[in-house]
Amino acid sequence: MDTECRTCDENEMGESSIEGEQAQDCKATDESSGKERIPILQAVNEPYVGQEFESEAAAHAFYNTYSTQAGFIIRVSKLSRSRRDGSAIGRALVCNKEGYRMPDKREKVVRQRTETRVGCRAMILVRKVSSGKWVVTKFVKEHTHPLTPGKGRKDFIFDQYPNEHDKIRELSQQLAMEKKRAATYKRHLEMLFSHIEEHNQSLSKKIQDIVDSVKEIEAREKQSRR
């Protein structure tokens, strides 16, 4: 039996711009053959201007399902608010390859990231109308990059960062080694501070003995003068 899978993000309504979405890939395994089967999403027609939704979340869920079938990832973009009461009245949902990434201004870049934004203009804009429903007021279908229908979000991320897991594992090992080294340094410093403290106490005692001896000599000299 084919398993249906839908992915939907929960987005905070109070932010003016939110980047990124969290989606979950669903997989089913054929018990008889042991082979992994690709989940089949419920068929969704493409958006159109004038399409109505009961809420912003419903519009987001629809476009998210459509994007998975079409072969791209969406990103929650600009939010419009009412000047009267500050409530959300408009939202743009764009392709995750929309716009261009700003160049890194640091002089030295440790690792260049794979370019993931190519100025794609695909998007929908939904606005809240007087009836309380959310209506599609703009829909751009065309993308400026190839689409890969049926791919999950994890597959997209792996394509963009193929060596990411190896890098994380390598950095984790380096971090563990540095922690051990730091612990060794800490023990050595604690021993050194302990020796310094003992030396200071011994030195203070000797100084106090000298001071007491000097006072005693001065007292004897005063008595002898009398």
**Do both 139 and 173 map to the same domain?**
no
**Do both 41 and 111 map to the same domain?**
yes
**Do both 179 and 135 map to the same domain?**
no
Q: Which of 121, 147, 173 is the last residue of a domain?
A: 147
Residue ranges of the chain with per-residue pLDDT less than 70: 1-44, 103-115, 150-167
8-state DSSP, 98: B
Q: Which of 97, 122, 147 is the last residue of a domain?
A: 147
Cα gap 130→62, rounded to integer Å: 21
Q: Flag whether 11 is in a domain.
A: no
Q: Flag whether 7 is in a domain.
A: no
Q: Flag whether 152 is in a domain.
A: no
Q: What is the reported pLDDT for 170?
A: 73
Number of domains present in the structure of the chain = 2
Give the E-state strand segments of 60-201 in sequence order. Answer: 74-81, 88-95, 123-128, 134-140
Whether 53 and 133 have beta carbons less than 8 Å apart is answered as yes
**Do both 131 and 48 map to the same domain?**
yes
**Do both 142 and 68 map to the same domain?**
yes
Q: Which of 122, 147, 172 is the last residue of a domain?
A: 147
**Do both 175 and 76 map to the same domain?**
no
Structural domain of 190: 163-226
Residue with tokens 């080294």: 181
Query: Does residue 17 sit in helix, strand or coil?
Result: strand
Contacts of 30 (CB under 8 A, 6+ apart): 36, 37
Amino acid at 149: P
Q: Flag whether 158 is in a domain.
A: no
Q: Flag whether 6 is in a domain.
A: no
Q: What is the reported pLDDT for 169?
A: 73
**Do both 36 and 130 map to the same domain?**
yes
Whether 4 and 40 have beta carbons less than 8 Å apart is answered as yes
What's the residue count for the chain?
226
Q: What is the reported pLDDT for 35?
A: 38
Residue with tokens 């201004």: 105
Q: pLDDT tens, 118-158?
A: 889 899 999 999 999 999 999 999 998 888 776 655 555 55
Q: Flag whether 4 is in a domain.
A: no
Q: Which residues pair with 140 in a beta bridge?
A: 123
**Do both 34 and 124 map to the same domain?**
yes
Say what the pTM is. Answer: 0.47
**Do both 135 and 198 map to the same domain?**
no
